[in-house]
Amino acid sequence: SPHEVHEIDQAEDTIDFRGRDLLGVEDLTTAEITTILDTVASFKEISERDIKKVPTLRGKTVINLFFEPSTRTRTSFEIAGKRLSADVINISVSSSSMSKGESLRDTADNLAAMRTDALIVRHKAAGVPHMLARYLPSPVINAGDGAHEHPTQALLDLYTIREKLGTLAGRNVLIVGDIASSRVARSNIIAMRKMDMQVSVCAPLTMLPVGIESWGVDYTSDFDAALQGTDVVMMLRIQRERHGDVLFPSLQEYSNRYCLSSARMRRAKPEMLVMHPGPMNRGVEIAPEVADGLESVILQQVTNGVALRMAVLYLIIGGS
C-alpha cells in the first residue's frame, strides 16, 4: 500500500541506491551499509504476515542467473522478489544457451535486449558479476563469485548480529574454517571492519589465504584460545569442491581441532552467538546439538536473508 511504501521510503534516509550494482561490500560505505540494515525491518514484518506479499515491485522483472548449484541463496532471492510482486525468472546454466557454447558477453547482450530490471548472478569465477555489469544497463547483484565476495550474505549476517546484540561496533567475531576458499568470510571481514567490529579468523595454516597479514584481522590455528571472549563465532564448511589438494590428514582430525562442540561451547563466553552460512556438515565443523542449540542463530540467518534481499531489491530497483 502507499502507506507501506512511505514507511520504507523513510528508511532510505538520503542515500539513493536506485539503478546501482551491488557487486561487493567493498564498494559500500559505512553509511550505506547502515541504511541497508535499517531498511530490513520493514520487509521482515511483511514476511511475518499471513499474506506475505506487497505490490512494491509489480511490473519489474528480476532474473536469477546461477552458474553454480545453490539452494538457500537462489531460493531466498526468488522468494524476496515474489513477495515484492516482481516477476522472477530462474536460469541455470544447464538449461541456458551457454551450455550450447554461447559466450558470457552474448548472454549479457540478450538479457539486456529483454529489458530486465535486475540480474542476480552467481559464478564460480571471481569477477563475472563485474564483467556483466559493464554490459548490462540494468543493475547486477552479486550472489557469490568464486572465492571473492558474497555481499548479501555478509549484510544479512550483520543484520542478524545487530538484531540479537543491539550494536555492531566493538563486537568480537571469530570466523573458523576454510577461510582461503570462502567468499562469505571475505565479505564479512570487509563489512565487519567497516562497522568497527573486531574480527579474528581461525583455521589450519593450509586453509588461511596467502597474504592474510594484510587483511587487518588476527589469525591463529588455535581454536580453543581464539574462542575466549568472543561475542560471535561463525563456522564455515570445508569447501572441497574448490580445491583438490588434501589440506588436513583426515576429517576426524579436523573435527577434533576445529569442530564447535558442546565442550567448547561450555568454555566460551556465555550467550555467544553461533552462526553458519550453510550448508552445514554436522559433526565436522559444528556439532548437531550446537547447531540446534539456544545460542544458534543459523535459522534466523535464513529468515533474515529473505528480508535483507527484499530490502536490497527494493532499494536498487526503486519501487514506485
Mean per-residue pLDDT pooled into runs of 10, the chain (320 residues): 46 77 98 97 94 95 92 96 96 63 83 93 95 94 96 98 98 97 97 98 94 95 97 91 65 94 96 96 96 98 98 86
- Distance, in Å, from the CA atom of 177 to the CA atom of 179, rounded to the nearest integer, reads 6
What pLDDT, on the 0 to 100 scale, is given for residue 69?
84
- 168: Cβ contacts below 8 Å, ≥ 6 apart: 158, 161, 162, 192, 195, 196, 197
Instruction: Give how far Cα 239 sits from Cα of 48, 153, 320, Å.
Output: 34, 17, 41
Instruction: Say if pTM beats, i.e. exceeds, 0.75.
Output: yes
Phi-psi group of 192: left, alpha or beta (phi > 0 → left; psi -120 to 50 → alpha; rest → beta) = alpha
CATH 1.10.20.10 holds for 151-297: no
Q: What residue ranges do the domains of the chain occupy?
A: 30-149+303-317, 151-297
Instruction: Say whether 35 sits in a helix, a strand or coil.
Output: helix
What's residue 12's pLDDT?
Answer: 44
Q: Report which of 260, 240, 220, 236 is spatially closest to residue 188, judged by C-alpha positions.
A: 236
CATH class belonging to 30-149+303-317: alpha beta
